[in-house]
Structure 1
Amino acid sequence: MTTMQTANKDALAQNLKPRHVRMLSIAGVIGAGLFVGSGHAISEAGPAVLIAYAAAGALVVLIMRMLAEMAVALPDSGSFSTYADRALGRWAGFTIGWLYWWFWVLVIPLEANAAGTILHAWFPQIAIWQFTLAITLILTSTNLLSVKNYGEFEFWFALLKVGAIIAFLCAAALAVTGLMPDSSTSGLQHLYDTQGFMPNGIGKVMAAILTTMFSFMGTEIITIAAAESKNPGRQITKATNSVIWRIALFYLLSIFFVVALVPWNSPSLVEHGSYQTVLQAMNIPHAKLIVDSVVLIAVCSCLNSALYTSSRMLYSLSCRKDAPQAASRTTRNGTPWVAVLLSTGAAFVAVVANYVAPSAVFEFLLASSGAIALLVYLVIAFSHLVLRRRREKAGETLSYRMWLFPGLTWAAIIFIVTVLVCMLFNAQHQNELLATGGLTLAIVVASFVVPRKKRAREQTRFYAVRSSENS
C-alpha cells in the first residue's frame, strides 16, 4: 500500500463534534499536576511560584500561536512532527514524532496506576493492578470504536474538571474576602508573611519553571484532534485564541488563591497536594474525598488523551513511512486500530519492564520523558521560523499569524534554550535531560538507518494529497 493510498483508503474520520473540540481546548491543559503536583512547585519557590507559572504559561501561549499558524495552513494528525519534517528535514520529524509518542506511551501506565491507587483506597479488596488493567482496557476499547467515543469521554471528563475548578475558585474567593463561613484562613497575608514573596531566591523560581513547564504538556493536543473534525482551521483558531484566558483562569488564579490562603512551607502541600490543603484550611467537609474524586477524573482524562495522542502520532509516522506500515490501517469508522493497539501494547511492555528489569532501567526510561516537552516546543519554534519564511517567500496568504514575527519566535527559542541549560546545571533535572539527550541521539541515528529513497518519493505524494484535501 502506498502512502497516497493510505491517505485515501485509510484516512482518519472527521467525527469530532464542535462541542468535543471546544471542551478539549478548554480543559485539555488541566491534569492531575494542577490539583496535586503544584504543591511541590509551591514548596520550592514559595509565593514567587506565580512568576514560574506566568513564565511557563507565556511560553505555551507563544508556542500554541506558532503551532496554530502552521496547523491552520495544513491540518494534520501528525501536527508538529509533520511540520518539522517539512521544515527541518526527515530526521527532525522522525525524531520528535517518536519522542512524543514515547512520552505519551509512558503516561498511559503512570496515569492508570494513579487511578488504580485511588480506587484501591476506596475498595481495598480489589488490587491496584486489577483497577489499572480494567481502566486501561475500557479506555482502549472506546478509542478503538470511534474517535467520537474519545471526544465524548473527554467532553464529560473536561466538563467535570472545569466544574471542579470553578467551584474551587468561588470558594477560595469567598475565603480570601472573609465571607466563607467556618473558614480558618482568609486574606492575602500568606503571599508575603512567611519570609517574603520570594523566600528562596530567583534560583528556586527558575527550578520551579522546570517543574511547571510539564504541567502544560497536552495543550498542543487540540491541533492533533482538530484534524479529525470538520473545518479544522476554524476549530484550531478558536482554541488558540482562548488559550490565554484558560491558563490565566485555571492555573494562575488557582495558584494565586493557594499561596494566598496557606503558608508556602506547609508540609501538607507536598504530602496532600495544593487543592486538598486549601480545602482543609477552609474546613470544607470531606476535602480528601472531593480532591481524590477530581484527581481520578483528571488522570482518567489524561490516560484517555494519552491513548488517543500516541495512536495518532504513530499513525502519522506510519503514513510518512517512519513507522510500521500496519499502523496506518483504519477501521470503517476511520479509527487507526493498529496504532491504538501498538501504543497500548508498548505501555504494557513498559509496565512489565518495571517489574522484570532492574529498577534503574525503568527509572532511566521514565526520566527520558522529562525534557521532551521542551524539545517539542523548541522544534515547533524552529519549524515555524522556517515555514513562515518559506511561505512569505512564496507569496502565500496566511489566515492566521504569529504575533511580531520573527521577534517573538526567537524570544521563545532563547527562553527554551536557557531553561535547558539551567536543567543541565540543576542536579534535580540533570539526569532527565541527559536521558532525553541519549534517547534523542539514538532516534536521530535510527532516522538515517531507515530506507530513505523510496520513503522520500512516497512522502512527496503524501504531502501532495494532504494539500489537495485541505485546499
Structure 2
Amino acid sequence: MSQQKGSPQKLDRGLTGRHVEMIALGGTIGTGLFLGAGRSISAAGPVILFVYAIVGIFMFWMMRALGELLLTDPNRSTFVGFIEKYVGPKAGFIIGWTYWIGWITIAMAELTAVGTYMEFWFPNIPVWIWELIVLAILYGINIIAVAAFGETEFWFSMIKIIAIIAMIVTGVIMMVMHTKTSSGITSISNLWQHGFVADGGGHLLSAFQMVFFAFLGIEFVGMTAAEAQDPYKNIPKAINSIIVRILIFYIGALIAIMSIQPWTNYHAGESPFVQVFAGIGITGAAGIINFVVLTAAASSLNSAIFTTGRMLFSLSKGKGYVGKINKRYIPNNAINVSVLLIAVAVVLNFFFPATAFDLVTSVASAAFVVMYGVLVYAHVKYRKSDDYKNGKKLFKMPGSPVTDYLTIAFLIGIFLILLFTKDTMPTTVLAIVWFVIMIVLSLRIKTKK
C-alpha cells in the first residue's frame, strides 16, 4: 500500500516489512526471558515448556483477532479505535487512557532499569545522568521519522535474537558432545531426570501468570499498522510468525537452558543465561547479559515513546495541542507530552525507591489482561456486524467465534489467578479500583446517535 499523505491527519507509512516483523518479534521477547526465566523454571519445573505453549496459543489467537480488525481499516492510528467502534465509545475511552497510562508507567520503570544496568559498568556516575541521556537519544529518534524508530527497533531486536540463538546453539553443541559440567553431563534427559513438575504442581497456576507477563507487549505490532508499508502483506506475515517465534525463542531457549544443567539449579533472582554462559567459561558473562537486558529495556522504552505518542494523538480526536501532526507526519506534540511525563521518573527516583515503579507496573500489567479481553470481545462484535457481513473478510481469525470465547475465558482465568494469588492480589485490586474510576469518568461521555 502506498504511503498516504496529503491530509494533515495521515501518519507516514515509513515502516518496512522487516521493521514490522522485528517489532513484532521484539514485542514478544523482553527482560522476562533473560532475567525472569529462573523464577518461572524454579516455580514450575520443565512443565513450564507446556505452559509457554498453552499461553502462546491464546496469545496467537488474540493477535489473529487483532490482525483481522486491523486489516478492516489499516489507517486507524491505534487499535483502540476498533474497541470504540464495536464495543462503544465508553469502552474506547477506558481502554485508551488505561493503555496510555499503562505504557507511561512501564516506560518509567524501564527508564529506571536503564540507569541501573548502566550502573553495572559505571558505578561512580549518577544513575539519573544515564536516564536523561538515553531518554534524550530515544526521543530524538522518535521525532526524526518513523523509519528511524523502526530501524532502531530492528537492531534492538537483533541483539536479543543473537543472545537467544547463542544459548540454543551452545546447548545443542554441549548435548552432542556430552559436555561435562559441575552439575553433571549435558543431556536432554535433564528435563525429566529430576522430576518434571516442581513442588508437585503447587506453583503451576502462578506459573501461568508469570508466563503471561512475559508476553506483555505482544500487541504492540498493532500500533504500527497505520505507519506500515503495505499493511495487507506485512501485518499478517508478522502475526503468523508468532507461533514459530514462541517455539524457537522461548521453548527452544528453555530446553537448552534445562538440558545444560538440571532445572533444580536455577533460582529466582538469577539469570539462567548468566549461569549457563559463566558455567561454560565465558568470561564477562554477566556483562554480556547486562548489555542484552540493557538493550531490551531500551527497546521497551523506545516502544513506549512510540506507543504513548500515537495513543495520545488518537485519544485527542485531532483536537488541541496533542491532536496535531508535524511536517514529517509524526504526532510530535503528543510525543512531547508523553516524554515529559516519562521524564518525571528521573525526578521520582530521588524520592522513591525503584520498588515503587514495580508496584505501579504490576497494576498496569493486571490491567493489560482486561484490555486484551476487551480487544477480543471487539472482534466478536465485529464478526456480528454489517462490516463483516458486507466486507472483504481479510485475514480471518481461525475458529472464530469459538477461539474468541476460549481466549476470553483464558484471560478471565489469568485475572482470577492474579486476584487470588497472595503476591499479586494487592496490585490486582488496585487495577480493579482504577477501572471503577475510569468507568465513572466514562459516564460523562455523550454518545452520538
TM-score by length of structure 1 reads 0.88
Report how far residue 328 of structure 1 moved: 1.7
Unaligned stretches of 5+ residues in structure 1: 1-5, 458-471
Rounded to whole Å, the distance in 1 between the matches of 2:387 and 2:107 is 40
Counterpart amino acid of residue 189 in structure 2: Q
Contact 2:109–2:357 (Cα < 8 Å) also in 1? no
Counterpart amino acid of residue 435 in structure 1: L
Q: What SS does structure 2 have at the residue aligned with 1:9?
A: coil
Residue 302 of structure 1 corresponds to 300
Report how far residue 149 of structure 1 moved: 1.2
Asked if 1:435 is matched to 2:430, the reply is yes
Instruction: Rate the CA distance shift 1:339–1:131 in 2: closer, same or farther, 3 A.
Output: same
Residue 40 of structure 2 corresponds to 41
Residue 330 of structure 2 corresponds to 335
What does the per-residue CA deviation read over 1:31-60, in whole Å, with 9 as the maximum and x for residues that have no partner?
Answer: 111111121111211222112211221111
How is 1:408-423 mapped onto 2 (pairs within 5 angstroms)? Answer: 408-423=403-418
Counterpart amino acid of residue 173 in structure 1: V
Contact 2:41–2:48 (Cα < 8 Å) also in 1? yes
Report how far residue 265 of structure 1 moved: 3.4
Rounded to whole Å, the distance in 2 between the matches of 1:264 and 1:249 is 19
Residue 287 of structure 1 corresponds to 285
Q: What SS does structure 2 have at the residue aligned with 1:272?
A: coil
Q: What SS does structure 1 have at the residue aligned with 2:429?
A: helix
Contact 2:16–2:228 (Cα < 8 Å) also in 1? yes
Rounded to whole Å, the distance in 2 between the matches of 1:364 and 1:108 is 13
Report how far residue 257 of structure 1 moved: 1.7
Report how far residue 92 of structure 1 moved: 1.0
Contact 1:75–1:232 (Cα < 8 Å) also in 2? yes
Contact 1:84–1:380 (Cα < 8 Å) also in 2? yes
What does the per-residue CA deviation read over 1:150-209, in whole Å, with 9 as the maximum and x for residues that have no partner?
Answer: 111111112222222212211111122335597865002332233x10122344121011
Residue 463 of structure 1 corresponds to none
Report how far residue 346 of structure 1 moved: 1.8
Contact 1:41–1:49 (Cα < 8 Å) also in 2? yes
Q: What SS does structure 2 have at the residue aligned with 1:47?
A: coil
What does the per-residue CA deviation read over 1:51-84, in whole Å, with 9 as the maximum and x for residues that have no partner?
Answer: 2211221111110111001001112454331111
Rounded to whole Å, the distance in 2 between the matches of 1:157 and 1:357 is 29
Rounded to whole Å, the distance in 1 between the matches of 2:317 and 2:258 is 47
How is 1:75-90 mapped onto 2 (pairs within 5 angstroms)? Answer: 75-76=74-75, 78-90=77-89
Residue 126 of structure 1 corresponds to 125
Report how far residue 367 of structure 1 moved: 3.1
Contact 1:178–1:187 (Cα < 8 Å) also in 2? no
Rounded to whole Å, the distance in 2 between the matches of 1:264 and 1:182 is 14
Unaligned stretches of 5+ residues in structure 2: none
Counterpart amino acid of residue 133 in structure 1: L
Q: What SS does structure 2 have at the residue aligned with 1:449?
A: coil
Report how far residue 320 of structure 1 moved: 6.8
Counterpart amino acid of residue 435 in structure 2: T
Contact 1:15–1:147 (Cα < 8 Å) also in 2? yes
Aligned residues: CA RMSD: 2.4
Instruction: Rate the CA distance shift 1:233–1:439 in 2: closer, same or farther, 3 A.
Output: same
Rounded to whole Å, the distance in 2 between the matches of 1:169 and 1:364 is 33
Report how far residue 105 of structure 1 moved: 0.8
Instruction: Rate the CA distance shift 1:61–1:393 in 2: closer, same or farther, 3 A.
Output: closer
Instruction: Rate the CA distance shift 1:182–1:55 in 2: closer, same or farther, 3 A.
Output: closer
- Which of 347-356 and 374-383 deviates more? 347-356
Residue 11 of structure 2 corresponds to 12
Instruction: Rate the CA distance shift 1:78–1:332 in 2: closer, same or farther, 3 A.
Output: closer
Residue 469 of structure 1 corresponds to none
Instruction: Rate the CA distance shift 1:364–1:242 in 2: closer, same or farther, 3 A.
Output: closer
Contact 2:167–2:256 (Cα < 8 Å) also in 1? no
More helix by share: 1
Instruction: Rate the CA distance shift 1:97–1:383 in 2: closer, same or farther, 3 A.
Output: same
Rounded to whole Å, the distance in 1 between the matches of 2:186 and 2:63 is 36
Residue 366 of structure 2 corresponds to 371
Residue 405 of structure 1 corresponds to 400
Residue 316 of structure 1 corresponds to 314
Rounded to whole Å, the distance in 1 between the matches of 2:353 and 2:118 is 28
Residue 189 of structure 1 corresponds to 189
Counterpart amino acid of residue 165 in structure 1: I
Residue 71 of structure 1 corresponds to 70
Asked if 1:55 is matched to 2:50, the reply is no
Rounded to whole Å, the distance in 1 between the matches of 2:133 and 2:117 is 14
Contact 2:63–2:219 (Cα < 8 Å) also in 1? yes
Rounded to whole Å, the distance in 1 between the matches of 2:314 and 2:254 is 37
Counterpart amino acid of residue 371 in structure 1: A
Instruction: Rate the CA distance shift 1:105–1:290 in 2: closer, same or farther, 3 A.
Output: same
Report how far residue 262 of structure 1 moved: 2.8
Report how far residue 140 of structure 1 moved: 1.1
Contact 1:13–1:335 (Cα < 8 Å) also in 2? yes
Report how far residue 273 of structure 1 moved: 0.8
Q: What SS does structure 1 have at the residue aligned with 2:85?
A: helix
Report how far residue 288 of structure 1 moved: 1.2
Rounded to whole Å, the distance in 1 between the matches of 2:254 and 2:352 is 39
Contact 1:78–1:317 (Cα < 8 Å) also in 2? no
Counterpart amino acid of residue 191 in structure 1: L
Contact 1:189–1:260 (Cα < 8 Å) also in 2? yes
Residue 347 of structure 1 corresponds to 342
Report how far residue 124 of structure 1 moved: 2.1
Rounded to whole Å, the distance in 2 between the matches of 1:75 and 1:308 is 17
- Which of 65-74 and 346-355 deviates more? 346-355
Q: What SS does structure 1 have at the residue aligned with 2:161?
A: helix
Instruction: Rate the CA distance shift 1:89–1:201 in 2: closer, same or farther, 3 A.
Output: farther
TM-score by length of structure 2 reads 0.92
Counterpart amino acid of residue 42 in structure 2: S
Contact 1:318–1:328 (Cα < 8 Å) also in 2? yes
What does the per-residue CA deviation read over 1:287-311, in whole Å, with 9 as the maximum and x for residues that have no partner?
Answer: 1122112111111111111111111
Report how far residue 138 of structure 1 moved: 1.1
Counterpart amino acid of residue 187 in structure 1: S
